[in-house]
Structure 1
Amino acid sequence: MLSSFKHLFLTALLWLLPLSFGQASALEVPVWSGPASGPKAQEGRRIIFIASDLKNGGAAAVSEGFLSAGRMLKWNITIRDGQGSRAKIQKALNEAIQAGSDGIVLGGFDAADFRAEIKKAQSAHIKIVGWHSAPRPGSSSLMFSNVTTDPLTVAEKAARLVCEGSEKSGVVIFTDNDFSIARAKTLHMKKYIDDHKNCNVLEIMDVQISKAEHLMPGAVARLNERFGKKWTHSLAINDIYFDHINFPLKNIGRKDLINVSAGDGSATALHRIKSGLSQQVATIAEPLKAQGWQVADELNRAFAGSGESGYTTEPLVITQEVLKNLKDGNLDSKMNYKEAYSKIWYP
């Protein structure tokens, strides 16, 4: 298993594909190649950013990036935490509509689940932009734009690391069926694994992200009892599952398991991967702070009556070696996206 572990790291480095914001190897810093033109700053807008759950490191990081961009745009921004509750998200949406907001950001929950509220907002001429709010990036009938990487690319990169990183893999996939983007990732990971003779999906485990802290210990114990050493690898649609897996694995003596996450590159995940003390060896990360700025740019375009930017970031395969070569450990700190957007908004 140790040789398999080493092989996984090498494979992760070899499979860091060219990135849409610059041709980068594992030892290079990604550079910005996003939009270079667009409407000037539409100042003085009132925005409500509704996060699916701020315990989710991805949603939290995007909200921080959005707040930073909003300060430059001189916007009045309120962050609402849905806490993983459909009722709380619905309430926040209705209150944003009643308050006469100029824009609403859907921060990590499915737009389709709140169709009635979104249609009501659109009727009131409120602009809607999402982050991870549909299975694919771009515009739809419910959103001016949905900011995300392609989840199928994320899923394939994660599954590839597992299948090509060992001679034989028994894989458990942790997912949350409440989210369409999670379902899309899961199905694509399963398809990729099914196409490889040395790789086998043992089980797809549906665990609510908002309850992962409480549900993972029991899930790990049940899986180990059922599959034992046949369970060699874990894939997950979000890093948060691996926030809560180390102690349960330690308790059952499973230090051999290898974990890879198909999103999103949370600060907590990056820290444990860089330390080398965790059984999570890789994450397929997104430049989350930069995506927060892109959400602001898409809203700014909507306010100005322009079209969406059409820009989509490419996900990054992040391993310990990659992080060791980023001095500050911040994936998007060297991308110069702040300078790029400021030149668009204030030419």
Structure 2
Amino acid sequence: MSVLWKGLSKRPLWEAGMRTGLKFVASAILLSTISGVAFADDIVASAQHDLVIYAGPQNGWHGPTSAPKPIAGKKIAFISNDESNDANHAWGVAITEAGRKIGWDVTVIDGKATPVGWNTAFNQAIALKVDGIITSADAKSLKDAIAEAEARNIPIVGIHAAALPGPDKELGLFTNIQEDPRDIGKAQADWIIADSNGHARVVVTSHNEFAIAETKSRAVVERLKACAGCKLLDYVNSPIAEVAQRQPQLVLSWVQRYGTPLYVTAVADYTLDFQVPALRGAMIDHSAVKLIGADGQRSAYERIRSGQYQAVTVSEPTEMQAYQAIDELNRALHNMPPSGFIQAPYLVTPQNVNAEGGDKDAFAPSNDYKKHYLEIWGIEP
């Protein structure tokens, strides 16, 4: 009896302990859940905050305010990575325009999207005895050709020619002009995080034969790691020279393998030129697959405006970069340091697609960049 009583007397204490333990566990689970929700909310809020800046007005001038007076009669070459690509062609057109305004003769040479083509184009430029070279080809694939140019005292300015903007002595570039690809990748990822409310399923694609492309795509991956509710489904690297053959099949395979909704990033809008027709032909709903591009070519603006799969692009100011390339080459020819100017990324969305040059399907900042460059060159606008 006494034993039974003792056992019964201890039972309420055990139950009380159990209840206390359960409350502790429940509180811990609740706290963990709240913390997880708070963390998810924090990353979404952070992404939304950044997007306001990325997609905002571009009317301030942050470029150089002085420059040496250009010497007329210089002969230069623009070695285009690939003239079938909108951005590369646009750089050549604007470089020719800016060069002529200061009395320079510009020759555009097509590198045809391959290292062999780039080296051939470089040799052609050297044979022309040019005073300077501007190139959008990947400098890492041009070490011997660049070394030959350096031996002949031919300065080289890159556009998207290296992993990062600014001077690159190792690659032989006086300077490299581009938005910072780490920021571009972050802007792409931020849009995905915000649009999905922190629950995106993502395929990241790249063309890693270009240092800038790999840097950009890896930055997307790094930012997505901060989003606990997001899932990186695949990281796909394929040569840009093969996009026409490979991308239609690839994008449909991702839909089949991973289902929808699905986000797909690209380091260049050019890639999406071949994904969109495949999605349309397979009658995939526009809201099921959202494409996130970069560069800001004409077709990207058209797709964003019409809601044809591509949701956004991080646009490059191709014409302003061309004017900057002429300015930087002029500084090199005067044995002066680079200007140090780096344009911040600009995110084109359905809401601002017609702003900042978007009405003409290009990113042209409303900061009077042509006027500023002509003024510091001592030329009447």
Q: Distance in 2 between matches of 1:12 and 1:316?
A: 15
Structure 1 contact 286–314 (Cα < 8 Å) conserved: no
The reply on whether 1:243 has 2:248 as its aligned counterpart is: no
Q: Distance in 2 between matches of 1:252 and 1:338?
A: 44
Q: Which amino acid aligns with 2:292?
A: V
User: What is the TM-score with the length of structure 2 in the denominator?
Assistant: 0.81
The reply on whether 1:215 has 2:215 as its aligned counterpart is: no
Once the two structures are superposed, the pairs formed by residues 44-123 of structure 1 within 5 Å of their partners are 44-107=73-136, 109-123=137-151
**Paired positions, count:** 328
Change (3 A) 1:195 1:29: closer
Q: Secondary structure at the match of 2:370?
A: helix
Q: Which amino acid aligns with 2:149?
A: A
1:133 is displaced (CA, Å) by 0.7
1:224 corresponds to: 255
The reply on whether 1:32 has 2:64 as its aligned counterpart is: no
Deviations 1:217-266 (A, max 9, x none): 1112322232223x6111111111111112211233322111111x2111
Deviations 1:272-308 (A, max 9, x none): 21233x1111001111110010001000111111111
User: Percent of aligned positions with the same letter in both sequences?
Assistant: 29
Q: Which runs of 5+ in 2 are unaligned?
A: 1-44
Q: Distance in 2 between matches of 1:124 and 1:194?
A: 46
2:320 corresponds to: 290
State the Cα RMSD in Å. 2.1
Higher helix proportion: 2
1:144 corresponds to: 174
Q: Distance in 2 between matches of 1:14 and 1:74?
A: 45
Higher relative contact order (CA 8 A, sep 6+): 1
Q: Which amino acid aligns with 2:185?
A: A
Structure 1 contact 11–161 (Cα < 8 Å) conserved: no
Q: Distance in 1 between matches of 2:70 and 2:51?
A: 35
Structure 2 contact 48–191 (Cα < 8 Å) conserved: no
Q: Secondary structure at the match of 1:259?
A: strand
1:132 corresponds to: 160
The reply on whether 1:259 has 2:288 as its aligned counterpart is: no
Structure 1 contact 105–128 (Cα < 8 Å) conserved: yes
Q: Secondary structure at the match of 1:34?
A: coil
Q: Distance in 1 between matches of 2:251 and 2:230?
A: 20
Q: Which runs of 5+ in 1 are unaligned?
A: 1-9, 20-24
Structure 2 contact 263–290 (Cα < 8 Å) conserved: yes
Structure 1 contact 15–317 (Cα < 8 Å) conserved: no
Q: Distance in 2 between matches of 1:257 and 1:18?
A: 25
Q: Distance in 1 between matches of 2:72 and 2:48?
A: 43
Q: Which has the larger radius of gyration?
A: 2
The reply on whether 1:331 has 2:354 as its aligned counterpart is: no
1:22 corresponds to: none
Q: Distance in 2 between matches of 1:30 and 1:123?
A: 41
Q: Distance in 1 between matches of 2:58 and 2:48?
A: 14
Structure 1 contact 154–284 (Cα < 8 Å) conserved: yes
User: What is the TM-score with the length of structure 1 in the denominator?
Assistant: 0.89
The reply on whether 1:204 has 2:235 as its aligned counterpart is: yes
Q: Distance in 2 between matches of 1:324 and 1:307?
A: 36
Q: Distance in 2 between matches of 1:297 and 1:145?
A: 11
1:134 is displaced (CA, Å) by 0.8
